[in-house]
Amino acid sequence: MTEQKRLPEEIRVPLLEIPQRLDVFLTGTLATQGISRTLVKRFIDNGWVMMQGRQHVTADLRVTGAELIRLTIPVTAPLNKKPMRLEVLYEDKDLVIINKPSGLITHPRSSLPFQIPPSLAHELGAMDEPSVLTWVLQNYPKALDVPRLGIVHRLDADASGALMLAKTTPFYHKALNMFENRAVSKTYLAVVWGKLNDDSGVINLGITKRYTKGAVKMGISQVGGREAITEYAVKKIYKKVSLVELYPKTGRTHQLRLHMAALGHPICGDRVYNRVLSERGQPLVGKPIDAKDRARFTRLMLHAWKLEFERSGKTISATAPRPKEFLKKY
């Protein structure tokens, strides 16, 4: 692993008209590097901040000027002791498309790896949980110089399939524009509950955030929600479930899960959107799936099957093989 971008090892406090708390001074000094006051306090508590002539410093220590502050923050710790292996579906000099397995998060739940050197985030415990980002940093150290470490879009942790990552800054911005302008064609496979009334159709239902017992989930909003459009086509019908292809035209959080639940056919294995609630928490459609039936599925039955887009006059198509769960006859 190459060395990460370093924070300054020494900081000389200039003469101050008014004494400042140590944590306040360091926060102002390190603000351009994305270091918050909360992080500064953690640095101090971990013993990573030292001051000439003092054996121990605290956040409320007053600095007046001329003090020499030393930062002994580890920034070269290994990001993961065990190498990760992910299937690469397509790669060129600017991007890589991988097959993300179900159960692997795209990036840490903490935002720290995007604010400070990832190895420092690792030291603070923000990268303990393996993620796609861990794999990126193991295999592409130059991603440190790419915005958001090359993460262009994401898949839900329990979903699987094709995920695009940028290896260079110019392509990162180009990829964002491609997704925003719907220049990337996405095809998902989903196993949903029940038999749909129509063989194909379009779901056009807005999506908004809603708050339940302090947690944030997404919900259908007929008025005021962000535009969300999904096309679908039924491919196979089984006794209690159906296999469908989904073609999202927008990329809202949990869009496919919400839209299928709103249609009355939640995605199998979905532990959250068994039925859709409005912004006020009122049921819109459907009943919760029977517990015995739910137990048949140990994962979210949603798979990002294909990504397709134009690049340098050529059509790039990446297909993620169907997981074994999608090959069963239900």
As annotated, the active-site residues are: 156
CA 296 vs CA 158, 227, 260, 268, 328: distances in Å? 15, 33, 19, 9, 12
CA-to-CA distance for 241 and 107, rounded, in angstroms? 31
What contacts 170, CB < 8 A, 6 or more positions away?
A: 94
Helix (H) or strand (E) holding 314: strand 314-319
**Distance between alpha carbon 43 and the CA centroid of its chain, in Å?**
26
Identity at 225, one-letter amino acid code: G
Residue 267 tokens, joined: 């995605």
Instruction: State whether the Cα torsion 47-48-52-57 is positive or negative.
Output: negative
Find the DSSP H helices in 65-160. 112-115, 118-123, 132-139
